[in-house]
Amino acid sequence: MHGVRKFLGLSAISHMALLTGAFAQNQTVYSPPSPQTYMTPAPAAAPLIPVVPSPADLSARRTIAPAGPLIRTPPAAQVAPAAAPVVPAAPAVTQAEPAPAPGPDGAPVAAPAKPKPKPVAAAPKPGETALSRDPAPTFGPETYQATQDAADRYANIVLAGGWPQVAGGLRPGARGKDVSALRQRLAIEGDLESNLGLGENWDESLTVAVKRFQNRMGLRQTGIVAGATLKAINVPADLRARQLAASAQRAAAYNFTFGERYVVVNIPSAVVEAVENGRVAHRYVSVVGDVTHRSPEVTARVQAINLNPTWTVPTSIIKNEIIPKMRKDPGYLSRAKIRMLDSKGAEVDPRSINWSTNSAVNYTLRQDSGNGNSLGNIRINMPNSQSVYMHDTPSKRYFGADYRFLSHGCVRVAGVFDFAQWLLEGTGGASGAWDKAGMLAKVATKERTDIRLARPVPVIWTYMTGWVSSDGVPHFRDDVYGYDAPAVMQALADRALAVR
């Protein structure tokens, strides 16, 4: 077990100044894909600026050993099976209505109205994102140094002219100058061997290289350059360099103690990683905060699993959502099984509240446990200054979406019972060690149960849009919250230089 406190070095400061200065003058404007395709551009908002270490901290810092070669051709990734093609529903055949039969007086009698056919939902498009199978965690003791080294290398790529733009719709069998541009593009970043960077024919090595690129971007490995893959491959080199530099700066400010077992939630990836002995033991899809209610960067320790939890509605939700709903629908709280409690814990009749005012914020609104509870059947308790946590959800359909920035700041976890079982390893109960079956049985009783972990597990929520994993491979995700903007980086660089 080892604790590591990482700090920003001079190279990171000078590198950020370089990126926000010289490169900003010739910056290519880039907008992340929309939710209909993959991601969404973040609106302008006040940035979250990490704390820059003091000179005293810098003098006492521990040096992290640099990782091995930063950019190298990664091993062939496991190929996910291609999704079945979407077959559009055949249009409904409309038959002519028969003429109405005449009545006794010769006037036509209207035929009884036929029920309108229910609209048939279109088949969903296959998702473009994929859950990584890489055993290397997003964040580890070597992440800061490896990511900073990568930022330096990408800065050199920018100074050398960057990489070419690539045409869309390229796939196995393609030929010509567009294939040549694709080869050059992938060779510059290291997905294709440099000696294969020339040529106008598509061969198996190019298919493998495209799939390697897709794997690094968190996309399905189709081997086809279209959709989200095309958008990612045409992100300019200066933006990628900036993502790495900004992520390294944020990593430098994290104060986190790594243990043999710890949890990483990387917000831009919308993924939860259960890490054991330096490798990802399990990886889970998650839903994180939207651009208005952002999930914070936070460190904590998972201390307990709450089964059949109640949900205390935050004041902001009472003001911005509950009160407007009650003005339109006075029965909403009753249907949602949300009780109003006064300062003494006594239940209050919602009909006694003047909903035309904001007086409801002076009460506690608590939702009963059960399948309709906003936290689902499990709350993962991790006390922290931001009052956020991980939990189950009754809205599991969102786990299947590519765009999963939808919560009010907490993190919803797919497969949460499996995740809780991993967290509870070594924690015994009345009938032995807690496992998924035992938790489900307890949930079925509808009794509130709190299980304290025998060994609390460290957890960190990071915001890494660019990082290098322990195997030396760089990865990227969209900057949904807009934290990598040049103005944010300039502010970070200015503050870092001011303390030196």
Q: Is pLDDT of 46 > 90?
A: no
Of the pLDDT bands very low, low, confident and very high (cuts 50, 70, 90), residue 428 is confident
Q: Give the number of other CB atoms < 10 A from CB of residue 445.
A: 10
100 pLDDT tier (thresholds 50, 70, 90):
very low
Q: What is the pLDDT of residue 127?
A: 87
Residue 125: the pLDDT is 56
Confidence class of residue 314 from pLDDT cuts 50, 70 and 90? Answer: very high
pLDDT at position 192 is 97
**Given pLDDT bands bounded at 50, 70 and 90, which one contains residue 487?**
confident
CA distances from 449 to 305, 307, 369, 439, 446 (A): 8, 5, 11, 9, 9
214-241 per-position pLDDT tens digit: 999 999 999 999 999 999 999 999 999 9
For residue 449, the model assigns a pLDDT of: 95
* Burial zone of 392 (CB within 10 Å; 0-12 exposed, 13-18 middle, 19+ buried): buried
| Neighbouring C-alpha atoms within 13 Å toward the C-beta of 325 | 14
End-to-end CA distance of the chain: 32
pLDDT tens-digit series, residues 56-73: 333 333 333 333 333 333
Residues 205 and 392: their CA atoms lie apart, in Å, by 42
Instruction: Give the chain's mean pLDDT.
Output: 81
DSSP H helical ranges for 217-331: 227-233, 237-253, 315-317, 323-328
pLDDT at 109 over 50: no
Which pLDDT belongs to residue 75? 39
pLDDT in tens, 161-196: 999 999 999 999 999 999 999 999 999 999 999 999
**Per-residue tokens: 476:** 């990227």
Grade residue 157 by pLDDT with cuts at 50, 70 and 90: very high
Predicted confidence band at 498 (pLDDT cuts at 50, 70, 90)?
A: low
Structure confidence at residue 138 as a pLDDT band (50, 70, 90) = very high
> Taking 50 as the threshold, does the pLDDT of residue 50 lie above it?
no
Query: With 50 as the cut, is the pLDDT of residue 9 above it?
Result: no
Report the pLDDT value the prediction gives residue 16, as an integer from 0 to 100.
52
pTM value?
0.76
